[in-house]
């Protein structure tokens, strides 16, 4: 294990273009539940009831209750040493980009700058009818939230299942993956597309893949190094 960590550290520190992709696992030690683990959110709730445009059309109050519950939870937690280590790496690396699937804002709170949020941000709302978008950091959004522009219903500014990602954001992420010299894959089950495809894109374009995850995943077999440990324990050791 020690040797593997040293090899990973050397790759990370000597890489001209360092890119990281994170998932819910990086925030697990902050106290944010993951989605697919034993205590994962999708073990207790059905995605189709809470995180699809159809669910919002059918029962917006229920969907808002779910997001208010998550807002409340996230408002009470903070970043952990894994988030901080990525901030340190951004300062060290010649070029660094952080692509996250998380909507919890903890990377920004920790101080990461070149951040690509693939699935949106829980502290922003957008209109379900027009293009209005705004930051709203209230822990609980009173129902029904009304768009100040068109009177439509506001929704969380996050990507739901069955929806497309913002093309500009996705294109930026693809460009980073294509040009990465070293690509860190941290705390993601790598099953949700198109986020997971970034890993294959990086690999195909010659990146050295380092996975940090408690368990083997869909991309472990193509990783050059797989470290089975908590991100908060390993990432600070790579800085």
133, 126 Cβ separation under 8 angstroms: yes
Considering the complex, state which of residue 61 and residue 228 has its C-beta at the smaller distance from ligand OAD: 228
CA-based nearest residue to 224, from 171, 180, 173 = 180
Stretch of 5-13, 54-62, 147-155, 185-193 contacting ligand OAD, by CB under 6 A: 185-193
The interface mask with ligand OAD, positions 103-122, x = CB under 6 A, is ----------------x---
Quickly list DSSP for 144-195. Answer: SPB-TTTS-BEEEEEPPTTPPPPHHHHHHHHHHHHH-SEEEEES----STTT
Q: Can 119 be counted among the known catalytic residues?
A: yes
Residues 6 or more apart in contact with residue 136 via CB below 8 angstroms: 123, 124, 125
Q: Based on CB atoms, which residue is closest to ligand OAD, 199 or 207?
A: 199
Q: Which is nearer to ligand OAD, 24 or 202 (CB)?
A: 24
- Cα-flanking dihedrals φ and ψ of residue 146, to 5°? -110, 135
For residues 234 and 11, give the distance between their C-alpha atoms in angstroms, rounded to a whole number. Answer: 14
17-25, 87-95, 143-151, 166-174 -> range binding ligand OAD (CB under 6 A): 17-25
Decide if residue 71 touches ligand OAD (CB under 6 A): no
End-to-end alpha carbon distance in the chain: 17
189 interacts with ligand OAD by CB under 6 A? yes
Stretch binding ligand OAD (CB under 6 A), from 91-99, 128-136, 140-148, 208-216: 208-216
Give the sign of the dihedral formed by CA 230, CA 29, CA 215, CA 179.
Answer: negative
Q: Which strand (E) or helix (H) includes residue 5?
A: helix 2-13
To ligand OAD, the closest distance from the beta carbon of 120 in angstroms equals 8
Of 42-61, which residues contact ligand OAD (CB under 6 A)? 51
Binding site for ligand OAD (CB under 6 A): 23-25, 28-29, 34-37, 40, 51, 101, 119, 159, 187-189, 192, 212-215, 217, 230-231
């Amino acid at each position: 294990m020690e040797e593997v960590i040293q090899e990973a550290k050397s790759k990370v520190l000597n890489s001209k273009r360092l890119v990281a992709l994170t998932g819910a696992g990086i925030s697990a030690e902050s106290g944010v539940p993951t989605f697919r683990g034993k205590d994962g959110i999708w073990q207790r709730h059905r995605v189709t009831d809470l995180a699809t445009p159809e669910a919002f059309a059918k029962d917006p109050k229920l969907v808002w209750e779910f997001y208010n519950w998550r807002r409340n939870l996230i408002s009470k937690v903070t970043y952990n040493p894994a988030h901080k280590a990525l901030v340190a790496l951004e300062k060290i690396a010649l070029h660094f980009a952080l692509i996250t699937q998380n909507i919890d804002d903890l990377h920004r709170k920790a101080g990461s700058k070149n951040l690509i949020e693939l699935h949106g941000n829980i502290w922003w709302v957008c209109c379900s009818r027009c293009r209005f978008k705004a930051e709203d950091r209230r822990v609980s959004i009173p129902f029904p939230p009304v768009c100040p522009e068109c009177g439509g219903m506001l929704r969380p500014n996050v990507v739901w299942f069955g929806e497309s990602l913002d093309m500009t954001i996705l294109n930026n992420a693809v460009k980073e993956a294509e040009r990465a010299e070293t690509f860190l894959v941290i705390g993601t089950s790598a099953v949700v597309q198109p986020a997971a495809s970034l890993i294959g894109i990086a690999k195909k374009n010659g990146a050295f893949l380092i996975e940090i995850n408690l368990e083997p995943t869909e991309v472990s077999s193509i990783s050059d190094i797989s470290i089975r440990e908590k991100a908060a324990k390993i990432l600070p050791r790579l800085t």
